[in-house]
Amino acid sequence: MESIDRADRVGQSETVDELVREAIAGRRLLQLRYDGKDRVVEPHDYGEQKGSVKLLVYQLRASGGTPGKGAPGKGTRGWRLLEVSKIAACRILDDTFAGSRGHEHQQHYAWNVLYLRVD
């Protein structure tokens, strides 16, 4: 996976908020740097939970980072709840995704405020 370029750093042109909203509305994949890893994700839910802004994603790929960090036995793919304030870099990719993964994949989180959800 190609590493996120310095020009794609958050704050250079668009904020994470703008990028996340645009990606969810257009069902486009995001490439982001989070917790020391470059990740490609489908953004699904965006909102506030327990006092912080979070993004529920379905992660497709991850690379880099600290070996051994994370839950044992967890693969690269799967649901992740990310703290938006910890996203170090972000860009929208041209690739799209189908949208909601259906009821069998629905994650049930208690959102204090839900800003946007993929349909």
Q: Kindly state the DSSP code that residue 18 receives in the 8-state scheme.
A: H
For the chain, how many structural domains are there in total? 1
Per-run averaged pLDDT (10 residues), the chain, 119 residues: 45 76 96 95 94 94 65 69 94 90 62 91
- Residue 111 counted as domain residue: yes
How confident is the model at residue 119, as a pLDDT?
85
Give me the pLDDT at residue 109, please.
76
Q: What is the pLDDT of residue 67?
A: 52
Task: Round to whole Å and give the CA distance between 13 and 47.
Answer: 22
Q: Is residue 97 part of a domain?
A: yes
Domain ranges, residue 47: 6-117
Residue-level pLDDT at 27: 95
Cβ burial, residue 34 (10 Å; 0-12/13-18/19+): buried
Q: Is 103 domain-assigned?
A: yes
Q: Is 18 among the domain residues? A: yes
Cα–Cα dist 42/97, whole Å: 7
Is position 1 within any domain? no
Rounded Cα gap, residues 33 and 8, in angstroms:
10
**Amino acid identity, residue 97?**
F
Q: Phi first, then psi: give them for residue 82, nearest 5 degrees.
A: -105, 140
10 assigned to some structural domain:
yes
